[in-house]
């Protein structure tokens, strides 16, 4: 299995709306470029789209990112959903953190993965003790 970069909603939004996201967008672009140079897979878990797509014209920016940069939306499997539930229980977090748990569960599908996020606090709790998952604060 390959190495992967997994983007959370904050990272995807930073890429899609770079003009208004400043330094966050620059860091997000840099980590994606580095991942692609290393031939790592770049993935967005499907549940992340629920946080960033609202059926408005602004969604076009997200679609451009998903179509232009080799970033692929990854479907959630039943196993990933169950893993996410276990991660939430271990971290003592409620279902309001479900999408974050889905992101970590997606990362577990790879030999090694980096999660790019604008808010690493919850991700660090969810990924505590997982040796194959690293958190990168953009």
**Per-residue model confidence as pLDDT tens digits over 91-107:** 999 999 999 999 999 99
Q: Answer yes or no: are the C-beta atoms of 52 and 92 closer than 8 Å.
A: no
pTM of the model: 0.94
Cα 136 → chain centroid: 10
Mean pLDDT of 108-115: 96
pLDDT band of 119, cuts 50, 70, 90: confident
Residues 20-36 have pLDDT tens digits of 888 999 999 999 999 99
Range of the domain at 90: 3-137
| HSE value, Cβ hemisphere, 13 Å, CA-based, for 119 | 7
**Domain count within the chain:** 1
Q: Which of 72, 76, 68 is nearest to 101 (CA)?
A: 76
Here the CATH number for the domain that contains residue 66 is 3.40.50.1010
pLDDT band of 2, cuts 50, 70, 90: confident
Residues 34-51 have pLDDT tens digits of 999 999 999 999 999 999
d(CA 13, CA 29): 11
Using DSSP's 3-state secondary structure scheme, residue 23 falls into: helix
pLDDT of residue 1: 55
């Amino acid at each position: 299995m390959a190495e992967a970069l997994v983007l959370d909603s904050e990272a995807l939004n930073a890429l899609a709306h770079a003009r208004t996201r400043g330094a966050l967008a620059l860091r997000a672009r840099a980590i994606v470029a580095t991942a692609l140079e290393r031939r790592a897979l770049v993935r967005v878990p499907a549940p992340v789209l629920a946080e960033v797509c609202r059926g408005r014209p602004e969604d076009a920016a997200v679609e451009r990112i998903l179509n232009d940069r080799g970033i692929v939306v990854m479907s959630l499997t039943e196993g990933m959903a169950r893993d996410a539930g276990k991660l939430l229980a271990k971290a003592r977090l409620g279902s309001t953190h479900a999408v974050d748990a889905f992101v970590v569960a997606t990362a577990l599908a790879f030999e090694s993965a980096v999660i790019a996020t604008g808010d690493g606090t919850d991700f660090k709790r969810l990924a505590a003790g997982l040796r194959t998952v690293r958190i990168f604060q953009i």
